[in-house]
Structure 1
Amino acid sequence: MKTRSPSVIVIGGGFGGISAARTLQDASFQVMVLESRDRIGGRVHTDYSFGFPVDLGASWLHGVCKENPLAPVIGRLGLPLYRTSGDNSVLYDHDLESYALFDMDGNQVPQELVTEVGITFEHILEEINKVRDEQDADMSISKAFSIVFARKPELRLEGLAHNVLQWYVCRMEGWFAADAETISAKCWDQEELLPGGHGLMVRGYRPVINTLAKGLDIRVGHRVTKIVRRYNGVKVTTENGETFVADAAVIAVPLGVLKSGTIKFEPKLPEWKQEAINDLGVGIENKIILHFEKVFWPKVEFLGVVAETSYGCSYFLNLHKATSHPVLVYMPAGQLAKDIEKMSDEAAVNFAVLQLQKILPDALPPVQYLVSRWGSDVNSLGSYSYDIVGKPHDLYERLRVPVDNLFFAGEATSSSFPGSVHGAYSTGLMAAEDCRMRVLERYGELDLFQPVMGEEGPASVPLLISRL
């Protein structure tokens, strides 16, 4: 006679791990979450040191619609969203009218030119899709650009228009948190886009993760170093030598951490799984959040600096429009983000303010600031995953597939929504369901006519969306 309920250890307290833990606990499993940081949330990190919430990590809901798996949770909490784009474009998390772009001399780029170049950019991307369909071998987005320009010289732009195009490339690099030289032309548009455009979480993501985590047994400051799987269970060891045993484990640590090899698996993970870890890209996008005494910038959602190369371009998110606080967020990605991570916080802030002063000479110094370092943070070692040149898009799915009683979750295991919070969340639900089926099957207790978790879920609550 069995006296205990089935048990699971969840490794990683980000959105993937917490949603898996929540689901399994609700299914009467004994669940323990081991998290290396001193807080939950992972790459979702809402900071309150300015006296109001700002997100140092994820801050958007991509796809403001009821099809978004996170919508019911956000709706029930009554959290407001500020919609920054009406369409479902991969590359614009803001509508074109909400940009103000400037050249290096501080002159604003005429809005007609911004729109015109935006249309050219879309034509180039259409041509890139033709180029990739003709060739078997993959290539980088930047290589594909060169081929398109050689074929269709009329798409090549000069002067200011060229610089604006570079800014669009810079935005594309921000979307993937990687440089155009490494982004796959074959796979760049493979993720699914939910309708409803993009919404900024006005009060940050913290209330969402806290709600999901309520009542869970979460051990923070527990860095896992070893996972041993046997036919009858798993044994997990942490850095300080503690060991924990359970029937199964859900591994929801960031891809960068899996790549680093700081967690030893015994026996080793199968080769197909290790290859998925090695071959998926992990990008870096950071935030330098600047809190000012007062607003001295135009009333747009995005300020941009155009330059001759995408590396020289920059962009600032204006949080004042969405949250009414005088805050600008400088967001470097790819190589630029790596270079800025080598600087001290003060130097990084000075660098951002210098970019701002190029376009707004009377820019004030910030009264407070925050600097994220997702690339060098040992708990993340990157911002989020993307497709690199020459590697298949099915790597996300391979990363998700269970190995015996180890189940995998997190944004890098989502083939539909990689790099997103709702992607991480939905993989947590999937890992929990796979784990539940496997463990109960072993206990011989699986009632195949039981409804699958979440099927009878509560009626959905509409999202609160503002658009000024």
Structure 2
Amino acid sequence: MDSQNNKSNRHLQAAICHSGSRHAASPSVIVIGAGFSGIAAARALHDASFQVIVLESRDRIGGRVRTDYSLGFPVDLGASWLHGVCNENPLAPLIGRLGLPLYRTSEDNSVLYDHDLESYALFDMDGKKVSQELVSKTDVIRQDHSEDMSMQRAISIVLERRPDLRLEGLAQKVLQWYICRMEGWFAADADTISLKNWDQEQLLPGGHGLMVRGYLPVINTLAKGLDIRLSLRVTEIFRHHNGVKVTVEDGSTFVADAAVVTVPLGVLKANCIKFEPRLPAWKEEAINGLGVGLENKIVMHFETVFWPNVEFLGVVADTSYGCSYFLNLHKATEHSVLAYMPAGQLARDLERMSDEAAANFAFMQLKRILPNASPPIQYLVSRWGSDKNSLGSYSYDIVGTPHDLFEKLRTPVDNLFFAGEATSMDYTGAVHGAYYTGLMAAENCRMRVLERYGELDLFQPVMCEEVSVSVPLLISRM
């Protein structure tokens, strides 16, 4: 193995030397992945006069941001909210400058995370509406335990110790719906979510805003002028003190001074990319220790609107698995569209179905509460779990693992830098978390590479701290 590594080292050194005086002109970086973190890193490094190549396995940019136009209007099948409609959000200035409208679905500190209590309608399985008074009185108290445990177990312990909190009948079903919404926020089942770390994410002020025209215009703007190579799946990354060599599926290789790795955590966990030398144990511990959740969307386009004028419809049931959640996109976009959003085990089960069967399942859930519902004229189905380019939706804290694994995942290894929502301690699972970690990785990379070649300028502004012109965000709330 040592002789093989020495041979690879010589090949890499020769390739770097063969590039001539490239370092004197401008340093070079390979960015792996063209999602928000990858494009953010590439944009920042390109603007800092680095030679940047972006390698993307898909035939499009955006990663887990996917705005679909096949219905005749934009629909986000992946990320769709700006979590934190405020100037503190690093994406807000860019969205404001583009004039993209947001539809606010909640103010600060909503108990439903991305929705306010007054903007929904809950139904039981017989189609009877659940009163908001009942919902507002349903709450779960987190107890302080010395050991970590799942949220599901913690809820059970609370109900065992506090008989006055035990619920029956419809109230118990409403509690299960709250658990269902928590599972949707983390894209995971309550029996895997860490009690200690579930609330470590920092929620920015301003509530949550739905991207009315989708996220694609934002990433398209960031990507302008960048050298992006699509349909190139990276299979191996070899690092040496003089640079990196990246191999793609067809055997082609790319050489640069450094690389920024922004592939999803699910891809890293599946060992789809071989690292030579092997990543250190602490980095592998972070990859293996973090959870990857799954949430999908089944978007149904109808001829007319036949549902209540609320932001979402919910169906309560005996278990969180049986509960349902429909986002009413008509409120924000004026198109007659509902998005059914299953998470956790239910999402995994639905991915085993055909698109037609999955859409029919969603429609039958809707028929339970609205018997006169007409079938959709069009539908779209996302499959983030079985998509080999993502293998999941976004990361979360699983039981028994420390929250600092996100920081360990972000920490560079030699001249490899890491970014993405799973590398954000504060904004895990959020688009602005992916974006900001891309900027941080770019700045770390810039400093490290310029330091190596004696070109570091202490008076040059730090890229991720540059102040953008503030432009008011276009907010509506019907």
Alignment of 1:85-124 (within 5 A): 85-89=106-110, 91-117=112-138, 121=139, 124=140
C-alpha distance after superposition, 1:253-291 (max 9, x if no partner): 000000010100000000000010000000000000000
- Provide the residue aligned with 2:243 in structure 1: 233
Is 1:131 paired with 2:144?
Answer: yes
C-alpha distance in 1, partners of 2:111/2:389?
28
Equivalent residue letter for 1:239: E
Give the one of 405, 409, 414 matched to 1:399: 409
C-alpha distance in 1, partners of 2:438/2:29?
13
C-alpha distance after superposition, 1:30-80 (max 9, x if no partner): 000000000000000000001100000000000000000100110110100
Equivalent residue letter for 2:173: N
What TM-score comes out, normalization by structure 2 length? 0.94
Q: Secondary structure at the match of 2:475?
A: strand
C-alpha distance in 2, partners of 1:170/1:349?
20
Alignment of 1:1-400 (within 5 A): 3-89=24-110, 91-117=112-138, 121=139, 124=140, 127-128=141-142, 130-132=143-145, 135=146, 137-400=147-410
Mean CA deviation greater in 144-153 or 59-68? 144-153
Is 1:428 paired with 2:428?
Answer: no
C-alpha distance in 1, partners of 2:78/2:60?
14
Deviation at 1:456, TM superposition (A): 4.3
Q: Secondary structure at the match of 1:402?
A: coil
- Provide the residue aligned with 1:419 in structure 2: 429
C-alpha distance after superposition, 1:208-254 (max 9, x if no partner): 00000000000000000000001100000000111000000000000
Deviation at 1:449, TM superposition (A): 2.0
CA contact (8 A) 1:90 1:193 kept: no
Q: Secondary structure at the match of 2:237?
A: strand
- Provide the residue aligned with 2:449 in structure 1: 439
CA contact (8 A) 1:75 1:462 kept: yes
Q: Secondary structure at the match of 2:327?
A: strand
* Structure 1 residue ranges, 4+ long, deviating more than 2 angstroms after superposition: 1-4, 88-92, 454-458
CA contact (8 A) 2:33 2:56 kept: yes
Q: Secondary structure at the match of 1:84?
A: strand
C-alpha distance in 2, partners of 1:32/1:289?
35
Equivalent residue letter for 1:70: L
Mean CA deviation greater in 326-335 or 455-464? 455-464
What TM-score comes out, normalization by structure 1 length? 0.96
CA contact (8 A) 1:131 1:148 kept: no
- Residues 407 and 95 (structure 1 numbering): CA distance in 2 closer, same or farther, change over 3 Å? same
C-alpha distance in 2, partners of 1:436/1:91?
40
C-alpha distance after superposition, 1:99-144 (max 9, x if no partner): 1000111111112212222xxx2xx2xx32x333xx1x21000110
C-alpha distance in 2, partners of 1:458/1:197?
21
C-alpha distance in 2, partners of 1:309/1:87?
28
C-alpha distance after superposition, 1:298-326 (max 9, x if no partner): 00001010000000000100000000000
C-alpha distance in 1, partners of 2:164/2:334?
43
Deviation at 1:90, TM superposition (A): 6.8
% of aligned pairs identical?
78
Deviation at 1:4, TM superposition (A): 2.5
Alignment of 1:442-453 (within 5 A): 442-453=452-463
C-alpha distance in 2, partners of 1:421/1:88?
19
Q: Secondary structure at the match of 1:289?
A: strand
C-alpha distance in 1, partners of 2:112/2:174?
15
CA contact (8 A) 1:227 1:237 kept: yes
Deviation at 1:3, TM superposition (A): 3.4
Q: Secondary structure at the match of 1:250?
A: strand
Q: Secondary structure at the match of 2:128?
A: coil
- Residues 291 and 32 (structure 1 numbering): CA distance in 2 closer, same or farther, change over 3 Å? same
Equivalent residue letter for 2:375: P
Deviation at 1:341, TM superposition (A): 0.4
C-alpha distance in 2, partners of 1:447/1:289?
50
CA contact (8 A) 1:409 1:428 kept: yes
Q: Secondary structure at the match of 2:137?
A: helix
User: Which ranges in structure 1 are unaligned for 5 or more consecutive residues?
Assistant: none
Equivalent residue letter for 2:57: S
Is 1:463 paired with 2:473?
Answer: yes
Mean CA deviation greater in 82-91 or 219-228? 82-91
Equivalent residue letter for 1:131: D
CA contact (8 A) 2:110 2:116 kept: no
Equivalent residue letter for 2:192: T
Deviation at 1:91, TM superposition (A): 4.0
C-alpha distance in 2, partners of 1:320/1:329?
10
Aligned length: 457
CA contact (8 A) 1:396 1:414 kept: yes
Alpha-carbon RMSD: 1.0
C-alpha distance in 2, partners of 1:50/1:145?
41
Mean CA deviation greater in 334-343 or 453-462? 453-462
- Residues 194 and 52 (structure 1 numbering): CA distance in 2 closer, same or farther, change over 3 Å? same
